[in-house]
């Protein structure tokens, strides 16, 4: 029980979680993003991850966004 009381403040400290940097891919500009090619484009741009995000419904626009933690 004492261990849990000592651990809880560490979980609540601001800044204890990583921040994520998100940038639109410069090389993958196709309006309908596909996860595999998006991730490859982001790797070439120096980012460890690439994800597709929906930015519009009518018309459907899905962009590739490169991400990294810092």
Which residues span the domain enclosing 36? 17-69
Model pLDDT, residue 4: 37
The enclosing domain of 30 has a CATH number of 3.30.30.10
Model pLDDT, residue 20: 87
Residue 26 lies in a domain: yes
Residue 5 lies in a domain: no
**Grouped pLDDT means (10 residues each) for the chain, 70 residues:** 47 64 91 91 96 84 90
Residue 70 DSSP symbol: -
Residue 35 lies in a domain: yes
Residue 44 lies in a domain: yes
Model pLDDT, residue 7: 44
Residue 1 lies in a domain: no
Q: How many structural domains comprise the chain?
A: 1
Model pLDDT, residue 9: 53
Q: Which helix H or strand E contains 6, and what residues bound it? A: helix 2-12
Residue 32 lies in a domain: yes
Residue 54 lies in a domain: yes
Model pLDDT, residue 5: 42
């Amino acid at each position: 029980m004492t261990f849990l009381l000592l651990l809880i403040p560490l979980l609540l400290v601001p800044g204890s979680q990583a921040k994520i940097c998100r940038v639109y891919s410069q090389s993958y500009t196709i309006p309908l993003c596909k996860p595999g090619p998006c991730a490859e484009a982001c790797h070439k741009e120096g980012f460890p991850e690439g994800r597709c995000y929906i930015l519009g419904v009518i018309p459907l626009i899905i962009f590739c966004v490169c991400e990294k933690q810092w």
